Amino acid sequence: MTPPFILEIAFVILILAIAVGTLVARAAFTAVLLFMIYGLLIAIAWIRLSAVDVALTEAAIGGGLTGMLLLGAVARLRESEGSGEEPGLPTLLAAGTFCVLVSAALGTLVLSRPEVAPSLAPAVMDNLAQSALGNPVAAVLFVFRAFDTLLEKVVLLLALIGVWSLAPDRVWGGVPGLRLYAEPSSILVFLAQLLPPIGIMIGIYMFWTGASYPGGAFQGGTVLAAMWLLVMIARLQPVPAISLRCVRLLLVVGPVIFVAIGLLGFVFAGAFLAYPPDYAKPLIVIAEATLTLSIGVTLGLLVAGPPDRMQQP
């Protein structure tokens, strides 16, 4: 029972306690706050499991962006009246059965793991030198499984289109209904002028260091999205209408450049998304840079939500 082991047990109990607290919290706001704290502790858990890239993403998305999304939802729920019905017994039974089945499946998987975990990690580490990158996660994302990464970025765009489709027809192409700070506050304006330059620098740093150390396009893009949202909430920049050409251009520039590099792979290296040997690193950097930008804009618009008016207020 060494001290680190006791610490880990206490930590796991804390995580479970927060999860239970999220479920039993009376007010939706408290539940959302506990969920964000849960995200923070899970990020620490990921670090303990040596997955620093995942910890970065968890801290950024789980703590920051998802939290803001849920807080906005709670605020909207407060303002509108719900239908007021409680779910009936059949719905509750169905939901309960589903949860039990999922938990049982997960439990069986965890408890019956094979002696030696089947893993491609040794193969990745063996071939890491060929990929001209130092971070094995980046190598998997952009060299060994680049096609999956491309599809993920397209899925992100599809999710954004799904969010946009929630808008009523008459405001299609309008301004997203991002709730702004209720009245101009000079303190918030100061924060929104001070923080974004630092944040943008941190975002670019996260993307750049992802080649050799934990980080990457997604983490950098999340930071950029958070800074953009801050500037919009403080009313320093207007929320753009989704029909604006430059918005749509920024959204697609990342995936388009990635696809273009993939198609060039046919010409220069014989397969889709294959890189010519000497140009691997520059091509990956270009792809990641444009993806960072696109991911930032996409995540920002995802949190901003569907359009709900045509004109700027």
* Distance of alpha carbon 297 from alpha carbon 291, whole angstroms: 10
Query: Using the rule CB under 8 A, which residue among 1, 23, 49, 79 binds other proteins?
Result: 79
59 belongs to the binding site for other proteins (CB under 8 A): yes
Query: Using the rule CB under 8 A, which residue among 154, 180, 252, 253 binds other proteins?
Result: 180
Encoding tokens for residue 4?
A: 């680190």
In 3D space, the residue among 183, 199, 197, 171 whose CA is nearest the CA of residue 233 turns out to be: 183
Query: Using the rule CB under 8 A, which residue among 194, 236, 244, 263 binds other proteins?
Result: 194
269 belongs to the binding site for other proteins (CB under 8 A): no
183 belongs to the binding site for other proteins (CB under 8 A): yes
Query: Using the rule CB under 8 A, which residue among 20, 198, 249, 256 binds other proteins?
Result: 198
SS3 for 201-268 is HHHHHHHHHCCCCCCCHHHHHHHHHHHHHHHHHCCCCCCCCCCCHHHHHHHHHHHHHHHHHHHHHHHH
* Distance of alpha carbon 194 from alpha carbon 187, whole angstroms: 11
* Distance of alpha carbon 160 from alpha carbon 147, whole angstroms: 20
Q: How many residues bind other proteins (CB under 8 A)?
A: 68
Nearer to other proteins, 206 or 239 (CB): 206
Catalog residues that contact other proteins under the rule CB under 8 A. 3-4, 6-7, 10-11, 14, 17-18, 21, 25, 29-30, 33-34, 36-37, 40-41, 43-44, 47-48, 52, 55-56, 59-60, 63-65, 67-68, 71-72, 74-75, 78-81, 179-183, 185, 187-188, 190-191, 194-195, 198-199, 202, 206, 209, 213-215, 219, 223, 226, 229-230, 233-234
